[in-house]
Amino acid sequence: MKKICLPLSKEDIKNLSAGDSVSLSGIILTARDCAHKRIFELLKNNEKLPFEIKDAVIYYAGPCPSKPDAASGSCGPTTSARMEGFAPTLLDLGLTAIIGKGEMNAEVQAALKRNTGVYFAAIGGAGALYGKAIKSCECIAFEDLLSEAVYRLEIKDFPVVVAYDCYGNSIY
């Protein structure tokens, strides 16, 4: 399994092929349905986003609450297809990678190709395992959205599979 430290460089991304198993460590941000809606309202009004999108990695996920002695609760991926209307714009704004589960449409694959981005599939349903791979979890935006808020996660040895690489290849 390849080991990668985030943030991803364009060189890192060019070395990834669909089907590769990769272990990620570093910083990622969660965002799912409601958070994307908020992000797009801000973009529409030309307002500043509450986090830097350039070179960021977005994880489509909404964690369980953390127990008092744990960094995070269970936190596996959610279905990426629901976010495919949002992903191309964010990739054009500098997002380097998406982590989610399941197929996304041709527009997303084209945006990954155009921006040298990558789509990682996390293993859907492995919430406990991913929760354990999260070393810190901090809410950085839209706190009122509870599990749908944006969380900044520090991850270590987080297993994923390259689903779409930057050359237009797919595991599906």
Partner 1 sequence: MRKINTAIIEEKIYNLAMRSGVNLTPSCKAALKEACENESGAAKFALSTLLENSRIAVEENMPVCQDTGLAVVMLEIGQQVFLEGKPIGQAVNEGVRRAYRDGYFRKSVCDPITRENTSDNTPAVLHTEIVEGDKIAITFLPKGFGSENMSKMYMLKPSQGVDGIVEAIIETVRCAGSRPCPPVYVGVGIGGSFDYCAYLAKRALTREVGAHNPRKEIADIEKRALDGINKLEIGCQGFGGNTTALGVSCEYAPTHIAGLPVAVNIQCHCVRCEKEII
Would you please indicate which residues are annotated as catalytic (active-site) residues? Answer: 36
Q: Which of 62, 95, 98, 164 binds partner 1 (CB under 8 A)?
A: 62
The two three-digit tokens of residue 112, written as one number = 């990954």
Under rule CB under 8 A, residue 149 binds partner 1: no
Distance CA 7, CA 27 (A): 7
Report whether 155 contacts 7 (CB < 8 A).
no
**Could you tell me the smallest distance in angstroms from the CB atom of residue 161 to partner 1?**
5
Distance CA 117, CA 132 (A): 27
The stretch among 39-47, 88-96, 110-118, 126-134 that binds partner 1 (CB under 8 A) is 126-134
Q: Which of 61, 141, 150, 153 binds partner 1 (CB under 8 A)?
A: 61
Under rule CB under 8 A, residue 152 binds partner 1: no
Q: Which residues of 79-89 are buried (b: 16+ CB within 10 A; e: fewer)?
A: ebeebbebbbe
Q: How many residues bind partner 1 (CB under 8 A)?
A: 40
Under rule CB under 8 A, residue 85 binds partner 1: no
Name the residue nearer to partner 1 (CB basis): 26 or 159: 159
Whether a cis peptide bond, with omega within 30° of 0, leads into 7 is yes
Q: What burial class does residue 69 get, using C-beta atoms within 10 Å of its C-beta: 0-12 exposed, 13-18 middle, 19+ buried?
A: exposed
Under rule CB under 8 A, residue 88 binds partner 1: no
Q: Which of 9, 79, 89, 169 binds partner 1 (CB under 8 A)?
A: 79
Under rule CB under 8 A, residue 22 binds partner 1: no
In terms of DSSP H, where are the helices of the chain? 10-14, 33-44, 87-92, 106-115, 127-132
Under rule CB under 8 A, residue 124 binds partner 1: yes
The stretch among 7-15, 74-82, 90-98, 112-120 that binds partner 1 (CB under 8 A) is 74-82
Distance CA 124, CA 66 (A): 19
**Could you tell me the smallest distance in angstroms from the CB atom of residue 56 to partner 1?**
21
